[in-house]
């Protein structure tokens, strides 16, 4: 989805792992997609933009209907079932059985990088956190990444969500995992 955030960096990462990409800005752009990345940005602004562009219901229905999705940072918030510290009435798609708190790791000035533990991978992943959400409850999701014992990456069905920005890390492992999810 190319409404806001580091979508160009996601395009580069996905193409580097062999995916064909296209930008989604309109409801018509969803036709024929095999998967969708909902990038970081500002979750309330992104939700309002999706609503104005007539994308909100179409994207929600596609993702909840089984279209593989990767949500990063704000994308995680949008895919969440429960959101705290959002604007009044803010709701996620309910795709993932998680509760998140917006900006849980702090504001812009408190952004940081830290090594993360990925499930099934002994090598640390370079996590880039920018106004990142905190997972308050991972619910029934599979935790796929942790920071200091706290979930920062989850998967449920054909949806993955990360509280951090893998597209800014230079490490393609999580984009590869998403592509495997799309191809499964």
Residues catalogued as catalytic = 73, 165, 167
Helices 43-52 and 56-64, axial angle in degrees (round to 10): 110
**From residue 131, how far is each of 3, 22, 53, 72 by CA, in Å?**
18, 27, 25, 12
Which residue is listed with tokens 């190319």? Answer: 2
DSSP line for 140-152: TSEEEEEETTEEE
Q: What tokens appear for 149 in the block?
A: 């014992």
């Amino acid at each position: 989805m190319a409404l806001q955030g580091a979508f160009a960096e996601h395009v580069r990462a996905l193409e580097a792992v062999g995916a064909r990409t296209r930008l989604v800005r309109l409801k018509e752009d969803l036709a024929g997609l095999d998967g969708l990345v909902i990038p970081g940005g500002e979750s309330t602004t992104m939700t309002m933009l999706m609503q104005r562009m007539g994308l909100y219901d179409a994207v929600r229905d596609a993702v909840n209907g089984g279209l593989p999705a990767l949500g990063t940072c704000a994308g995680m918030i949008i895919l969440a079932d429960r959101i705290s510290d959002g604007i009044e009435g803010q709701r996620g798609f309910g795709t993932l059985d998680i509760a998140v708190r917006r900006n849980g790791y702090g504001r812009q000035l408190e952004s940081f990088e830290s090594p993360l533990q990925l499930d099934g991978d002994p090598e640390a992943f370079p996590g880039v956190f920018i106004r990142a959400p905190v997972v308050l409850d991972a619910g029934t999701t599979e935790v796929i990444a942790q920071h200091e014992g706290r979930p920062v990456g989850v998967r449920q069905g054909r949806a993955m969500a990360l509280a951090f920005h893998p597209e800014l890390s230079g490490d393609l492992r999580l984009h590869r995992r998403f592509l495997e999810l799309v191809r499964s």
